[in-house]
Homo-oligomer: A and B are copies of this chain.
Amino acid sequence: MVERQKDENLSAILKAASDPTRRAILTLLAQHGPMKVTHIARQYDQSLNAISKHIKVLETAGLVSRRTEWREHLIEVQMEPLSAIDLWFTQLRSIWALRFDTLEAALTEETDNDN
């Protein structure tokens, strides 16, 4: 099913976002707009290669896109996939809320009790 796929995507997105450097890159891109890899790398005191790898992780997760203009790669943040996190959170919260409704109903009915 698509479910499994979605779950893997979500894992990738969350994992990609769980690194401080990568979050910083996303923020940077959000404020600066599309940037070259070198330009991004210059902002941090990590090697260009390290940044290049981080970008690839973000790209695999769909959090950034790459427009390659010969040797210059323009990296751009992609907000949309991040909403998968939002969706998951909302779902979880509604499951949680639902439980309270049921609990409340059970309490008012005062019928069952099995621990």
Contact = CB atoms under 8 A, between A and B. Distances in A.
A33 to B, nearest CB: 6
A93 to B, nearest CB: 6
A82 interface: yes
Given A30-B95, A96-B30, A11 B15 contact: no
B20 A18 contact: no
Contact of A7 (B20, B85, B99): B20
A82 B77 contact: no
Interface residues of A, number: 31
A79 B93 contact: yes
Q: How many copies does the complex hold?
A: 2
Nearest to A88: B23
Contact of A31 (B32, B82, B89, B98): B98
A81 to B, nearest CB: 11
A86 interface: yes
A92 interface: yes
A49 interface: no
Given A77-B96, A79-B93, A82-B92, A18 B27 contact: no
